[in-house]
Chain A
Amino acid sequence: MLSPDTRQMRLIKGSVFVLALMPLVRLVLLGAQDRLSANPIEFITRSSGDWTLYFLCITLAVTPLRRLSGWSWLLKLRRMLGLFTFFYACLHFTTFIWFDHFFDLPAMWTDILKRPFIAVGASAFVLLIPLALTSNGTMVRMLGRRWQLLHRLIYLIALLALLHFWWMRAGKQNFAQPLWIAALVAVLLGSRVVGWWRGRQR
């Protein structure tokens, strides 16, 4: 069984941090070379949305992977991965209020009410905020058992994010990508149900 010491763990965390920044670095590099397609804003919106979903799946994969491999140190990466999910979600939301509506809040509000897929995405984002705010050690200790309860919201968030993506693609019936992300989320959430079921059997 792999069990890194403190120094190795620091190295692993550092590498994951740098890797997790790559999607942003890519956008910055493409932007600097004027290669974000003819519609750079749409490109950034799509890319940040995609990466929010990917990081959500990676974060959700930590627990099942730890169970399968027995590598408990994986758990030490979970907070950072969760915060990267929030980071890309912030980027995604920023493109919406900045580029799509240019900070015209009434127009944004009308848009949220008029188009359910935006309402669903926005609620997933709002629900992420308390999770990000309570991610530090102090809050974990302060909240105790309630912390875990609160952070189970991530399952709901995953479903809302998926629905948001699915609905967006429904306009053109282009479901290949939402389908495989849905399959992945189903497996990740399914592993929780299985874990819970086995816990009850004991």
Chain B
Amino acid sequence: MPTKRPRFIEPLPSDITPRALFESRRQFLQQIAAGSLAAGGLLDHAFADATAPRAKLVARANPAFAAKDKPTSFEDATSYNNFYEFGFDKGDPMRYAGGLKTQAWTVRIDGEVKKPITLDIDSLLKLAPLEERLYRLRCVEGWSMAIPWIGYSFAELIRKVEPTGNAKFVEFTTLSDPKQMPGVGSRVLDWPYVEGLRIDEANHPLAMLCVGMYGQTLLNQNGAPVRMVLPWKYGFKSAKSIVRIRFTETQPQTAWNRSAPEEYGFYSNVNPDVAHPRWSQATERRIGEDGFFAKKRKTLPFNGYPEVASLYAGMDLKKFY
């Protein structure tokens, strides 16, 4: 009896490359074509070299927040990023973040505050004296860097908006614009990206509102024009390209926690004793330093920032991971 031979089922192109991504590639190619016709010139903004130097930022180095670590090279820190709004690959943010428009940027700050306000990026730059701080960055994936960030303690901004007695948490929202961010088309996370802190964590002097790195304004792939930096937590807790900061009474629903609660807790403090199902957290590889012939280095509790331990006194950190 003749039966049909098995046939190879072609995967749809959209199964392989997310639609938003290939559309952005097409748009990129079209713009390249258009640009060459218009004798260059027109493209300088949208598709500028992603690692080109930015505006210089003058900042005083703060010795109280200078890690003893050797700073990671600028090249590594700006080419190896997790910023899923621009794609999954570590190189995607550098490749696709060039089109992010960061000039007319504003951040809405509201919720449980006496003085809700919308600040543009210039006001944010002037809100407090800029400091340079060399912080260790530990990614949940088991790698780390040391980056000279520029900004100031987030507490400065908290003071300005005067939280009410009901403000128990702070919620950070990242821009989510599929036109500028090709990864937003994917269904990996429920966009926009939301992160959060308890108010006492947000008030800790280590918690930094960051506008620059390596002596210049932030690069798009690193979360321009304004982001958080929380060195004692895994990297994903530090929201990038922030458009809204909301003070709330209840614990914010954070993006990764909603996506996989058993893997990414609300606190996500760096903790070598709590293993992640995919990455052992006991050790880490320092990018640019720990090469082929070295053992990975040991990860420290709170990423080597014991001064935050008192925030969690009495809490079972294995339960509140």
Contact = CB atoms under 8 A, between A and B. Distances in A.
Interface in B261-286: 263, 275-280, 282, 285
Given A64-B6, A172-B88, A190-B6, A102 B295 contact: yes
B111 interface: no
B280 A111 contact: yes
A173 B260 contact: yes
Given A68-B5, A173-B188, A173-B260, 18 more contacts: A37-B80, A38-B75, A38-B288, A39-B80, A41-B285, A41-B292, A99-B292, A117-B277, A171-B263, A172-B88, A174-B188, A176-B16, A177-B16, A179-B15, A180-B15, A183-B9, A190-B6, A194-B3
B18 interface: yes
A194 B188 CA distance: 35
Interface string A170-193: 111110110110011001001100
Contact of A191 (B6, B17, B278, B280): B6
A26 interface: no
Contacts of B17: 176
26 contacts: A37-B79, A38-B90, A39-B80, A41-B285, A42-B143, A67-B5, A68-B5, A100-B296, A102-B294, A107-B282, A114-B280, A115-B278, A170-B260, A171-B276, A171-B277, A171-B278, A172-B88, A173-B187, A173-B189, A173-B260, A174-B188, A180-B11, A187-B8, A194-B3, A194-B5, A201-B1
Interface in B174-221: 187-189
Nearest to A68: B5
Contact of B18 (A67, A102, A176): A176
B278 A117 contact: yes
Interface string A75-117: 0000000000000000000000011101010010001001111
Interface size, B (range): 35 or more
A102 B297 CA distance: 11
Nearest to A116: B277
A39 B90 contact: yes
Dominant secondary structure at the A interface: helix
B280 A180 contact: no
B71 interface: no
Contacts of B276: 171
Contacts of A99: 292
Interface in A11-37: 37
Nearest to B187: A173
Contacts of B280: 111, 114-115
Nearest to A180: B11
A38 B289 CA distance: 10
Contacts of A40: 291-292
Interface string B1-38: 10101101101000111100000000000000000000
A168 B278 CA distance: 6
Contacts of B301: none
A198 interface: yes
B276 to A, nearest CB: 8
